[in-house]
Amino acid sequence: MNISIAAEPIFHIGSFPVTNTILVTLVLSSIIIIASAILKSRISLVPRGFQNVVESVLEALLNLVDSVTQDRRQSKKFFPLVATIFIFVIFSNWVEVVPGLGTIGIREELHGKSVLVPFLRSGSADLNMTLALAIVSVMAAQILGIAAIGFGKYAGKFFVSPFRPPYFVGTFVGVLEIISEVAKLISFSFRLFGNIFAGEVLLMVMLFLVPYFVPLPFLFLELFVGFVQALVFSMLTLVFLKMATTEAAH
């Protein structure tokens, strides 16, 4: 049993390491894109089957976004990012319960030891992926914030003159705001990574200890955790977007 915090490269294209997570992420993205293309070609006013499922999920998400923004127009602006994060993260998380994860792979010599490099690794169990999402989310908050209230006012949240009341307190709060933007990146990426990586390790350990039936409850637990983490990630993004687009009240 080999547990590696970093995703393992399966092969290299030039100097670009193709890791198992990026492979899974690409496959997942293509599946989502193909599904959406099929859905688009079959979309009809009277929904049936797959369209029903997608619509109910999206409508629930839209209502959730509405409940945060209290404004349909703003909801529509935030919705694509929030929904994409939710869909992408939940499927990345659920990859970890796919059978064969962490067990099917190729043996490679690493540091003089023969270790198994699995083909499948949940996208969320790789810091590159979670950090990428966190960067997108935080950057989107900055961009939408500037677009919504203007560059000057948005910058005013972070850079406060120490010569106006509340003087240095305001300046200090502005510095804290900058730090908190960076902290968001870290908390976003490590929360998701930690949860899913831990879940993956847990499932693997369980599978090695008792191969039959005992891992089942953990599979359900991981499904639930995956859902919750996807919801948390998208909801936090939504809240940060909302916060960035509202003017600071002084």
Partner 1 sequence: MSELITKLGIDYKLLIAQIVNFLVLLFILYKFAYGPILAMLEKRQKKIEQGLKDAEAAGKKLAESEERQKEILRKARTEAKEIVEKAHMQAEKSKSKIAGVAKVQAEKIITDAKAEIEREKTKTISEIKSEIGSLVVAATEKVIGGKMDEEKDKELIEKSLKS
- Please report, as ranges, the residues that interact with partner 1 according to CB under 8 A: 4-7, 15-17, 19, 22, 25-26, 29, 32-33, 36-37, 39-40, 43, 45, 47, 54-55, 58-59, 62, 76, 79-81, 83-84, 87-88, 126-129, 131-133, 135-136
CA-based Rg of the chain, rounded to a whole angstrom? 21
**Shortest spacing between CB 88 and partner 1, in angstroms:** 6
Q: Which CB, 39 or 201, lies closer to partner 1?
A: 39
Contact 195, 231 (CB under 8 A): no
- Angstrom distance (rounded) from CA 119 to CA 100: 9
Q: Which CB, 125 or 160, lies closer to partner 1?
A: 125
**Shortest spacing between CB 163 and partner 1, in angstroms:** 36
Q: Which CB, 120 or 129, lies closer to partner 1?
A: 129
DSSP code at position 159? -
DSSP code at position 49? T
Q: What DSSP string runs through 188-218?
A: HHHHHHHHHHHHHHHHHHHHHH--SSTHHHH
Q: Which CB, 139 or 214, lies closer to partner 1?
A: 139
Contact 84, 241 (CB under 8 A): no
**Shortest spacing between CB 28 and partner 1, in angstroms:** 9
